[in-house]
Amino acid sequence: MPKARVYELAKRLNITARELLDELEELGVTVKNHMSVLDEETVNIIVGLYEEEKKEILRKVEKAKNKIQEKEVKNLEKKLVSKEEPATEKKIPVEHKVRTIKLKSNEFKLDILAKKMNVQISKVIKDQFMNGIILRPGQIISLEDAVKIAKNYEWEVELVHEEEMNPFESISSSYAESYKESSRLVQRPPVVTVMGHVDHGKTTLLDRIRKAKVAEDEIGGITQTIGAYQVEIRNKKITFIDTPGHEAFTEMRARGAQATDIVVLVVAADDGVMPQTIEAYNHAKTANVPIIVAINKVDKPNANIDLTKQQLASKLGLVPEDWGGDTVTVPVSAKTGKGVEDVLEMILLVAEVADVKCIPEGNARGR
């Protein structure tokens, strides 16, 4: 089998690029990322291993089927025996569980105590009156009194000590705990921010993806606000954020980069790396998110893709993968639609490797 990139081989084996990367790591094969090229020998070894695994799985399935059949026969035999010999009932000892009421420092009131014990407050007042103690609804009581009253109804009282915590820290802590429960996490659409220098074709690229025309309606053809759109590609959703490229919207671009999973950096092939290109790259680097470079306007006569790649490497340190680096660069024309499908393909691939997940129910959070 010929040489292949990691993601291409993953497709052939019908597994995710992330799974193949993990498999290669276990085998001791060093690769940078999903774009790395595997030599012919490595490809043949991996394919051979997966074919062997398939055969082994089929053998195990067959074995399991036989075991299930044996188990069913044994169960039927047991049922026949149980019908002939009635089983003797075993008495299970009932454990007496101690019932405990937990009260915070601001909950030492008679009505709260009665409610937690599930006893009518009128009954509590009457019982205490019979003991010579006069109480009224809503009366504040001490811990000692609460223990004595609860004991009459076979309850114990425990004081809950509350630690003072910043409300924001408390919320952050609860989110961190909930995200540890991997069973609640599900795949979510990646959030992709489109960034770049003013008039390099960011909104036109999104127009092409959305099959809409937003750029024509904006003042001077310049994006004035952050816009969010969701599209579906091959039954998979992607959420796009369009940020303004003009120098007056620096803070807005920074916020867009912080709220994203992947950044698509749009660079015009006829203009190269410009001030807002560098600034957008710095925002993405600070946010620590993967970058896909869309080299736009390749349809123009004065477009120079090689020069643009050279500027990406020298000014931003983004070495294209076809130059031996690990930066995905895709030549596109937002105007004609050339290369747009390739950009979407790369977004889905990067999102798959990043394994973007969330907890779909409950409160949302932001930065």
Would you state the structure tokens that stand for residue 267, as one six-digit string? 């660079």
Mean pLDDT of the chain: 78
pLDDT single digits (tens) 213-263: 333 444 333 344 456 778 888 888 888 876 654 343 344 444 544 568 888
Q: Which domains does the chain possess? A: 4-66 (1.10.10.2480), 100-160 (no CATH), 186-358 (3.40.50.300)
Residue 302 pLDDT: 92
C-alpha to C-alpha distance for 64 and 54, rounded to whole angstroms? 15
Residue 167 pLDDT: 58
pTM: 0.57
C-alpha to C-alpha distance for 36 and 317, rounded to whole angstroms? 18
**Alpha-carbon dihedral 114, 119, 122, 125, rounded to 10 degrees:** -60
Render the burial of 86-108: b for 16+ CB within 10 Å, e for the rest.
eeeeeeeeeeeeeeebebeeeeb
Whether the pLDDT of residue 97 is over 60: the answer is yes
**N residues, the chain:** 367
